[in-house]
Amino acid sequence: MLRLLGAWLIALALVLPVIAVAAEPPAILLAEVYRNQVDVAKYLVSEKLDGVRAIWDGNTLRFRSGKEINAPRWFIEGLPRQALDGELWMGRGSFERLSGVVRREVPDDGEWRQVRYMIFELPGAAGTFSERAEAMRQIVRLAKVPWLREIEQFPVVDRNSLQKRLKEVVKAGGEGLMLHRADALYETGRSDTLLKMKPWEDAEAVVIGHLPGKGKYEGVTGALRLRTADGREFAVGTGFTDAQRRNPPAPGTTVTYRYRDLTNSGLPRFASFLWVRQEP
């Protein structure tokens, strides 16, 4: 009887579907916003890339959510067994195209040949960030694959130098700068060890309605009515393509918008539509 029961259980296991267990989000360092609160001479600075965050544990490449990224085998096999943290990137202004490429269940080799894994951290590694930055340069040099690069880190002497570099990056089409404290040991969570600096901030909100267009936008969507997670409501009427105005994101969709700063009532000033959030 026991033998028959065991055989039945084995047969049942072979025909039942496998239920995939989602990985936990990896513990990583998250940036605070730069607001002149630190001595910038103690930081190393790099360009803030408009890519997709990707964490490599030595075996698997994952999104911030923990979900595995379906990269081609050759892309994965070219990475070292060292844990890495960085951005998948296709160049300035290419976020939407990149997002579509890296989220496909079946990767397209031709498109992935244009993706670079731009690393900026070594999770769990010893030493200061300056020492880890040098280690990243050596890892890239030894890997000898064109899709693995380190993001250049450079010092600045004061806030004027930092502002000048920000203007140069933005003028060239970049998104902003990142500041990482040079003497910091590796840590996770949100910390002013890592700061982001942009001429614009960005945030997410849910579409709750469409406002009709006027003038040249008569007959199509003029603006989206949005609601933030804390219940603030406002309209965004710029940043859309003609196609997006004809076929706007549906109510319930989460979108990303950018803004300059906040009003006294907490509403975004000069808000502009960026893109529809794509879940990993």
Question: Catalytic residues, which ones?
Answer: 48
The string over 38-47, giving b where at least 16 C-beta atoms fall within 10 Å of a residue's C-beta and e elsewhere, is: bebeebbbbb
DSSP 126-164: -S-HHHHHHHHHHHHHHH--TTEEEPP-EE-SSHHHHHH
Of the candidates 105, 110, 107, 69, which has an alpha carbon nearest to the alpha carbon of residue 87?
Answer: 69
**CA–CA dist 188, 93 (Å, integer):** 28
User: Using alpha carbons only, how large is the chain's radius of gyration in Å?
Assistant: 22
Sign of the torsion angle spanned by Cα atoms 204, 209, 215, 218? positive
**Alpha-helix runs per DSSP H in 57-119:** 73-77, 95-102, 109-112
- Contact assessment for residue 96 and residue 22, using Cβ atoms and an 8 Å cutoff: no
- 55: Cβ contacts below 8 Å, ≥ 6 apart: 26, 28, 61, 62, 63, 64, 83, 84, 85, 123
Q: What are phi and psi of 106, to 5 degrees?
A: -110, 110
